[in-house]
Amino acid sequence: METRTFSDMINGPGPVLVDFSAEWCGPCRMMKPILEELKDDLGDKITIIKVDVDKNPAASGIYHITGVPTLVLFRNGKIEWRQSGVVPVSHLKQVIEKL
């Protein structure tokens, strides 16, 4: 199977939601079932990537991640939406459907 880089994934035509989080972060753990529900609802319409800011400090720096969880929605390599904190699945679906 071909290995795709982070850059390859966020530069694709479909929406890519990146969850910048950390293992020690309580609210980040709250996002896990929300993102699973979102993936169940939207299936192939969305790609969801989890990035641990402690293990990937370079990515955190590039996108100026100062708090976790921070969700960043990319399309064609551009940031379309960004929000920090726990975000309900209904709001995430609204944001993605507007793309």
Catalytic residue numbers read: 25, 28
Structure tokens, 43: 């299936």
The answer to whether residues 28 and 21 touch, using CB atoms and an 8 Å cutoff, is yes
Give Dmax over CA atoms of the chain in angstroms: 34
DSSP-derived letter for residue 61 is: H
C-alpha separations of 28 from 12, 20, 33, 85, 88 in Å: 25, 8, 10, 8, 13
